[in-house]
A and B are shown apart, each in its own frame.
Chain A
């Protein structure tokens, strides 16, 4: 069975500080990995995804995540956060590229303050 573990439920940081949101998965088959973000009062939206190829994937707003097969991790990082990055972040794993039956972690709340 597949599962996703997000190791931190809440991460408070100051503006312009670096941040890492941790995600570990378990799977006996090939996986496709996703980070979704939910801003206050908005729906979930895709932040970035790993399907194949380069293990380092980036989002348009400066986040990046690296697929590490040996450590079964897909940690999300940003070198300098903004107030507007305050949101809940969900790591997810799928058995296929279509994203059917995504399995989500419990989420990490990132709170950025000035």
Chain B
């Protein structure tokens, strides 16, 4: 697609439920990132994929959070046993390979707003 696509745009769930958020990056972008943005805060890094593998998952808050990118394109962020504190906008971004045009630029999707009741 032309840009980074995230679905769903809005998700309301109950505490304890399981949630999946999907990200479809820009075609040809090898790197994919997940961030979380809470109200009044800047985006907080969660995990970064280079190809199919997670190159850096140091930002995942705990083992309830997991992300996959099985074919090196679409990624899914999975949250188990959701808690009210997980409510936030989850942002996905992708970037082109190093050395290409737009080095250092992350292209963000519009985010998935998660509300845990």
Q: Give A residues with C-beta under 8 Å from B.
A: 4, 6, 9, 32, 34, 36, 41-46, 49, 51, 90, 92, 94, 97-107
Contacts and interface: CB of A to CB of B under 8 A. Distances in A.
Given A90-B42, A90-B43, A104-B42, A99 B109 contact: no
10 tightest A-B CB contacts, nearest first: A104-B42, A44-B108, A43-B108, A43-B110, A46-B105, A104-B43, A99-B104, A106-B42, A97-B104, A100-B48
A14 B44 CA distance: 31
What secondary structure prevails in chain B residues at the interface with A? loop
Interface string B1-36: 001100000000000000000000000000101010
14 contacts: A4-B42, A9-B40, A32-B104, A44-B91, A44-B93, A49-B104, A51-B103, A98-B103, A99-B95, A101-B48, A101-B59, A102-B45, A104-B43, A106-B42
Contact of A45 (B45, B48, B108, B111): B108
Interface size class of B (residues with CB under 8 A): 20 to 34
Contacts of A104: 35, 42-44
A34 B103 CA distance: 12
B108 A100 contact: no
Given A34-B104, A46-B105, A102-B43, 8 more contacts: A43-B91, A43-B108, A44-B106, A51-B103, A92-B42, A98-B31, A101-B45, A103-B45
Interface of B: 3-4, 31, 33, 35, 40-45, 48, 55-56, 58-59, 91, 93, 95, 98, 103-111
A45 to B, nearest CB: 7
